[in-house]
Structure 1
Amino acid sequence: MPIPAIQWYPGHIAKAERQLQEQVKKVDVVLEVRDARIPFATYHPLLATWIGNKHKLLIVNRVDAIPPTVRELWAEWFVSQGEQPFFANAQQGTGVAAISKAAQSVGVAINQKRKERGMLPRPVRAVVIGFPNVGKSALINRLLNKRVVESARRAGVTKSLRWVRISDRLELLDAPGIIPGRLDDQAAAVKLAICDDIGEAGYDRQRISAALIELCQELGYVAGFEDRYGSIPTTLSGEEYLHQLANEKYRGDLERTSHLILNDFRTGVLGSIPLELPPKSNS
């Protein structure tokens, strides 16, 4: 029997996506937020079409969840692709001041043109766009220095669009997480599930925890497993290791073991683990 595809596209996202395309026409700059653990998997293929020629800031959030060496690799790669990434940890506030400054600098040029036309200055209008649970609401709260939008470590918390006045120079549109209507790239969908960037209704937890184990094996990030569970998944498949750990530690309870492994990864207990690395240079 074929493995069911991972799909997750709740109704509020479909509605918000339609509204977002209308609101994007009114903004000056787009803050695109991606997950540092999976920058490729959290790229929306329609984003470039939606924003056209508008200014865009690329924000790679949850930078604390990857090693500094991997951050440097991503920084070099994005620059090589013509993008200047802003690395941030929105929960802690790391990197947020630079993002605010860059967004407001767009407003300087806009208001200069308005002044030349005899118009009064106005705040720069920005929209925060990204997959569910990549940290958009946490970023807005940090930019405002107080909690104004609900933020939680799970997908699908923000369900409607709302404007938030950051200062007399910056207004932000907080939008629900957007995700393609169909997840055709199932390898990326697995990574989204591992990182909790799609809802739990869209995947099987045991399958996803086994996939996490195998990704860690492939990328060489297994030391945290020994520190946490007393054994390393080296020669076993992800599913075999899952069964072994469940039998040794949790009375054969695969669901409990799967939940534990995923939660330990998501909260950093297993260490700083990237699930994607940038392509290597051919030079």
Structure 2
Amino acid sequence: MSLTQNYKLNVIQWYPGHIAKAEKNLKEQLKRVDVVLEVRDARIPLATHHPQIDEWVGSKTRLLILNRLDMISPQVRSLWVDYFKRQGEVVYSTNAQHGQGVPAVLKAAQAAGVELNQRRRDRGMLPRPVRAVVIGFPNVGKSALINRLLGKRVVESAARPGVTRQLRWVRISDQLELLDAPGVIPLKLEDQEAALKLAICDDIGEASYDNQLVAAELVNVLNYLQDVATELLPKKPLESRYQLDSSPHTGEAYLHLLAEHRYKGDVERAARQLLTDYRKCLLGEIPLELPPN
């Protein structure tokens, strides 16, 4: 194996200390929780699924939320909804920044509480608010969702991973209490393809990756999707944006050409610009994953 291949394989590893601690606390708190709201990034619903979440949730009610619905087309969204339906999951699509889809999530969480309190009454116990937790990778929009559920800004949210550090309970209404948990990420990112997608979508700390490698991978993924799912993507997004066609080139070659073409040969600047344009949806509504057949 060449050095570059080896470097690429070990490209992304990110596990800050506060996440390890948060995960331990979260497992403790989960014992007290009735409903789990699992938030994923609609552009990469598989890569933002924490492998241990099924084990943590056990038999509790789980609501699957695909956030950032504004970043994928309605057509791609309905493909994912159908895919998860076949897996026996109901999907809630949200754009937490603007509040789209949030009332349906609130209603579903409260409905779980009705069931819970019926069981409590049957056992001669008093009703109590349903306890829900919002879980997901860093920066997938958990804090924005909580603020929308509350109808006011109580949780700091920012466009960078790792802002939420503490676990804390937030009371939403007489019926619902919510635990705001820091983003949790697997101890080891075994799947480097998924890790690269997390980096492209800015769902992982910037210190863990090389911009040029990640931007080159974005070009490779876009070229691949153009070939296999032309009808689901904007037409030639990179050519439309930069007047430079990516289809004949590898991601790495394209990045160097783009640097020459627009940024006086500055490859790092070209890489950063490409990633920023993708993250701001300036290349169009582009998913990085499509449902497996």
CA RMSD, 1 decimal: 1.0
Query: CA offset at residue 158 of structure 1?
Result: 0.8
Structure-2 residue corresponding to 1:95? 101
1:20 has 2:26 as partner: yes
Whole-angstrom CA distance in 2 between matches of 1:73 and 1:232? 28
| Secondary structure of 1:167 counterpart | coil
Q: Which residue of 2 aligns with 1:185?
A: 191
Match of 2:283 among 270, 274, 278: 270
Extract structure 1 runs of 4+ deviating beyond 6 A: none
Aligned equivalent of 2:268: 255
**Are 2:138 and 1:132 equivalent residues in the alignment?**
yes
- The 3-state SS of whatever aligns with 2:62 is strand
Which whole-Å CA distance do the structure 1 matches of 2:245 and 2:159 have between them? 27
Unaligned ranges ≥5, structure 2: 227-232
Answer yes or no: is 1:115 the counterpart of 2:121. yes
Please state how far the C-alpha of 1:116 moved relative to its aligned partner. Answer: 3.0
Supply the distance in 1 between the matched residues of 2:119 and 2:174 (Cα, whole angstroms).
18
Q: Please state if 1:141 is matched with 2:154.
A: no
Q: What is the rounded CA distance, in whole Å, between the counterparts of 1:183 and 1:119 in structure 2? A: 44
CA distance in 1, matches of 2:179, 2:18: 16
In structure 1, how many angstroms separate the alpha carbons of the residues matched to 2:50 and 2:264? 41
Does 2:182 correspond to 1:176? yes
Residue pair 1:225, 1:231 contacting (<8 A) in 2 also:
yes
In structure 1, the residue matched to 2:88 is 82
Distance 2:261 2:155 in 1: 43
- Aligned AA (2:64): L
Q: Equivalents in 2 of 1:223, 1:148: separation in Å?
A: 41
2:172 match: secondary structure:
strand
Aligned residues: 280
Cα deviations by residue, 1:122-146 (Å, 9 ceiling, x for unpaired): 1110000000111100000000111
C-alpha separation between the residues in 2 aligned to 1:218 and 1:224? 13
Alpha-carbon offset, residue 119 of structure 1: 2.8
2:175 alignment partner AA: R
- Paired residue for 1:233? 246
Cα deviation, residue 230, structure 1 = 1.2
Please give the alpha-carbon distance, in whole angstroms, between the structure 2 residues aligned to 1:102 and 1:232.
Answer: 45
1:117 deviation in Å?
3.3
Counterpart of 1:245 (choices 244, 258, 278) is 258
Residue 35 (structure 1) aligned to one of 16, 34, 41: 41
Amino acid aligned to 1:225 = L
2:49, 2:72 → 1: CA distance?
Answer: 18
TM-score, with length taken from structure 1: 0.97
1:164 aligns with 2:164: no
Give the counterpart letter for 1:44 in structure 2. H
- Kept in 1, the 8 Å contact 2:11–2:210? The answer is no
Q: Which residue of 1 aligns with 2:230?
A: none
Instruction: State the identity as a percent.
Output: 62
TM-score, length of structure 2 as denominator length: 0.94
SS state at 1:263 partner: helix
SS at 2:31's partner residue? helix
Conserved 8 A contact 1:86-1:95: yes
